[in-house]
Structure 1
Amino acid sequence: MTVTTDDGVRLWASRQGQGGEALVLCHGGPGLWDMFEDVAALLTDRATVVRWDQRGCGRSERGAGPWTTERFVADLDVVRRHFALDRPVLLGHSWGAQLALSYALAHPERVGGLVYVSGTGIDPVSTWHGAFEENFRARLGEVPERYARWRELTDGDRERAVLQWSVDFGDRERALEQAGRMADPWFEIDFECNKALGAETKESWGTPELYAACQDLDVPVLIVDGERDIRPRWAVDSLERALPRVRRVVLPGAGHLPWVEDPEGFREAVGAVLAGSVRGPVTGSG
């Protein structure tokens, strides 16, 4: 299905499931594409699930900037309106968690709940990125020939991406297999989009205005972490402290894509949001 934005860009989108809450999924990246087929399969009996590829990415129209959070928030609102969704629950993963949070901050009255999966919090990028890079080198270096091969390949190569994504899984024996599934189907990574939005995040994240906006956000939020994500989980503490209506769930043994390695735990956690049970000033891990 094609959704056309107000500036004429064509976005790929899909709706699955029947009844229940509306759930809109925001994929990671930036510059990647929707990899939420497994998530949709877990939740379509509980929700109407909408998936979409962000502008310039995957099955959406390529090369179509501008690459700004404001523009991506506007695109998400176009998707919401296209499917006539009143106050959907937003589920964002990694960069998509940041996008979903940005949308909720801009339009809290249009959001029924937020599921923030494997994000990196609201502190400056500089506070956690060094630890992430160290963890990346250590985990990929567990198999030295993989690390050496990754360094030989160039950005945009599918094999390099699979090797890089393999660090995102807690189960090291199946990591390469699981990363290969992420790359099927394979689309060209939009590095221009990735660079532009990454630079914007470095400048705008961690400001007093962002902390204040999160403190005022009157939307129930569920934070979902995989215990073995190489992005330091303490980076998300900043967001948890700021939000007035938040619950946090840590899935033991899971990595950056927790629904892959603990599908039942993930389904249970998100199901609580869809059932409307994540309400009020509830906080803590569970």
Structure 2
Amino acid sequence: MTTTETVTTDDGVRLWAERSGRGATPLVLCHGGPGLWDMFDDVAGLLGDLATVIRWDQRGCGRSGPCDGPWTVERFVADLEAVRRHFGLDRTALLGHSWGAQLALHHTLAHPDRVSTLVYVSGTGIGPDTGWHGAYKENQRARLGERPERLARWRELTDMPGRDGAQEREWAVLHWSAEFPDTDRATEHAERMAEPWLGINAACNKQLNAAARSACGTPGLYAACAALDVPVLIVDGAEDIRPRSAVDSLERALPHVTRVTFPEAGHLPWVEDPRAFQEAVAASLGSG
């Protein structure tokens, strides 16, 4: 059974949330972005027999209520805590993807006694982004350039001031198509991500990305990860356009870590290798 609920944070912001699945283990999913919304339909379906899956849209995004921030890592960690409390969970497994992997990690560091296991999917580690961001941009343009017309239109829309809603959606689909190594199906996969189209919160994206960057590469973050007594599964797609070497910093720091890399997957590994993704997460949930 699937139920939709509203979580109210301590500062009065309304968050969309949904519970599904019938497994005994509670599992909260943290979507990427920042500024996007939950796109975990497939993941919830894959894991519903293993866990009771809770999905939510982060503040000011997607189906959650409008707000003006604040767009800080600490505020989003507190929002995730509000989700946990709303559903009456003493401890929960967390699965975060991309920016959501960073959020889930920061929540685990802040509240290790409330997290049974962390599944860190397609994140970018804990080092400074100068170590990977330039290569990511180059890889993105190279993959878009495999279809020159796609790259040309993406560039046109990127430089277009005041894009309307339809143009913003078209830009996002082109942008996301670079996340998939199968060029023939990339647009199809990206179109699924954009359905339904709920719009991108640009202020959230800009300010929260800056806040997350400022937290990376600090001695305190390395030390906190080294002291973390929670099992962590790192999941990578080898064909992610973000260099996977960025995640080495996190893997080296963690004392209880397993890493699984899917050789033919990109940034959304459950799309290209759903069975292997399901098996890897199942093993992690069993050990938490």
Aligned pair partner of 1:74 in 72, 78, 88: 78
Moved more, 232-241 or 152-161: 152-161
- For residue 86 of structure 1, give the secondary structure of its aligned residue in structure 2: coil
State the alpha-carbon separation in 2 of the partners of residues 32 and 217 from structure 1.
29
Retained in 2: the 8 A contact 1:125–1:201?
Answer: no
3-state DSSP of counterpart to 1:56: coil
SS at match of 1:222: strand
Distance 2:58 2:7 in 1: 11
Shift of 1:204: 1.9
Match of 1:262 in 2: 273
Task: Tell me the equivalent position of 1:48.
Answer: 52
- Match of residue 86 from structure 1: 90
Match of 2:173 among 162, 165, 171: 162
1:174 maps to what in 2?
185
The answer to whether the 8 Å contact 1:9/1:64 transfers is no
**Mean Cα deviation higher: 196-205 or 110-119:** 196-205
TM-score of the superposition, structure 1-length normalised?
Answer: 0.95
Deviations 1:58-98 (CA, angstroms, capped at 9, x unpaired): 00012331000000000000000100111110000000000
TM-superposition CA deviations, 1:105-124 (whole Å, max 9, x none): 00000000000000000000
- The Cα shift of 1:176 comes to 0.5
SS at match of 2:143: helix
For normalisation by structure 2, the TM-score amounts to 0.94
Quick one: which amino acid aligns to residue 286 of structure 2? Answer: A
**Structure 2 residue corresponding to 1:208, chosen from 205, 208, 219:** 219
Q: 1:225 and 2:236 equivalent?
A: yes
Superposition deviation, residue 188 in structure 1: 1.3
1:130 has 2:134 as partner: yes
Pick from 104, 110, 127: which aligns with 2:108?
104
Secondary structure of the residue that 1:24 maps to in structure 2? strand
Q: Are 2:239 and 1:235 aligned?
A: no
- The runs of at least 4 aligned residues of structure 1 exceeding 4 Å deviation read none
Match of residue 21 from structure 2: 17
Q: Which runs of 5+ in 2 are unaligned?
A: none
Equivalent AA in structure 2 for residue 108 of structure 1: P
Decide which moves more: 73-82 or 146-155.
146-155
- Percent same amino acid among aligned pairs? 70
How many residue pairs get matched? Answer: 277
Q: Secondary structure of the residue that 2:178 maps to in structure 1?
A: helix
Deviations 1:180-212 (A, max 9, x none): 000000011001001101111222211011000
Which residue in the other structure is 2:124 paired with?
A: 120
What secondary structure is seen at the aligned counterpart in 2 of 1:168? Answer: coil
Contact 2:122 2:235 in 1 (8 A): yes
**Structure 2 CA distance for aligned equivalents of residues 124 and 144 of structure 1:** 32
Whether contact under 8 Å (2:13, 2:67) holds in the other structure is no
Which amino acid is 1:150 matched to?
Answer: W
Q: Separation in 1 of the partners of 2:117 and 2:150?
A: 40
Deviations 1:219-263 (A, max 9, x none): 000000011000000000000000000000001200000001100
